[in-house]
Structure 1
Amino acid sequence: KAFGTMFAIGWHASMEAGKTLVSYATNKTLAAKERLEELLPQLHDVAQLYREGLCTLFPGAYMQMREEATVRDIADWSDLVFDGTDVKCPFANALVVTNNDFCNFLHRDRDEIEVAYGMWWTARFDAELNTWLFDSDVDHKDVEGGQFLWGEYGTMVDFERSSGLVDIFWRGKKDRHSTMQSTSPRDLARFGTSVQITAAGAAAFKRFWGAGDSERRSMLTTMLDRQK
């Protein structure tokens, strides 16, 4: 069981009738749709940050993720132009974001490969703008707990002793790991993220590419389709 809040964006296996590969659905409220419209043009730049971050931290892991996605024709989680005919940006199929004192128990991820990478930071909620913003006066020391733990090795990232943007590589499907409980002051949060090639996502892409050319577009729901 997990506590806190988790969001995801990207591609996953569908439970919708007649669909094989779909983007994560958004909240159906008008406000959520408007916020997504603002976000979509920025996704490419965000995805590039994760590519550069993983490549800088662990070049070999970056190459493995890129090569696996290329061989399997797995579209990047941020790919807005993917229409079922050509994968222009093969990489991780999912980006997950957590906040609201998210925590979970020791587990292994259901990923296709052993590469997982994420970034952690703190932010302050602006009530006037109704959004989270970076604030130079806010840092990890302001949020109690929330360590990232590798249980089998007795190793953890102690965020309270860190500052700024923290990035982490882990073998999600092999190493048992967890995010420990945290306590945040009001209107403050630590955000955690990860990019991965999920096992279910990889299987969905395999089924998708196994279908006939004339069938594929009808089996696909993109982020732009969600906006219609």
Structure 2
Amino acid sequence: MKFSIRRFNEWLIVVLLIILVPALFWLIEDFLPRHFNYLFNPDSTSVLIGLASVDAIDMFRGDDPAGFSLTRETVSIYVNVLIYLMLGPYLFLMGYIKAKKTERRTKPWYWYAGAVICIGSLSIIPTEILKQYVFENTKASAADSRTKDLMRAELAEVGFATAQYEILEDGVDELFSVDELNLENLKYNYTVESIQLDTLITLMVSNPDLPDYNVKMEVRPYNRSLLKQRN
């Protein structure tokens, strides 16, 4: 057999293994222990994304995130890194070196295993990096959404306190500022945009962490529609 044909057959076997191994794993997956799947999980970052999703929900609720801890699932991530980034290339290289030392240059069995793992990692790694990038953006967006909700909620408290201050204290005038309300633990920055006598007071809340976002509230102390927010 010519060398070129033998090499073609070797890579043909690799391609067949890439197709057959996942198919075989899919057929017997239901019969394997639950945690066995994680050890050879080509989508191992799904574990990280799952944990980060729970943390994002906790952050949105205002709870402390649980964070990352060592479990069977998280340890499997390290196992997959070893398999796809270290074991695969090692087997592929050692198989190639072994074949060069033989007269017929026949590839040993572990060359095929290494080739399958290396090709698999080349298709997996870019996808996983993209998934992680998208998720980080989603996580940051969730944190921003929670901050915006807190800003709107606190603005409502300030607006109600402003209306109460005008009605009970008769104290809103052109020099009025939110500091006069003596509200404690305000997290954000407030400015009085405009005052039209005692019928309309426009407040605005801003946050240095979100410089492009602010919310305005129209306060009408003597109107049935007391508060009205707008971005």
- Tell me the TM-score normalized by structure 2: 0.22
The structure with higher relative contact order (CA 8 Å, sep 6+) is 1
Looking at secondary structure, tell me which structure has more helix per residue.
2
Larger Rg: 2
Looking at secondary structure, tell me which structure has more strand per residue.
1
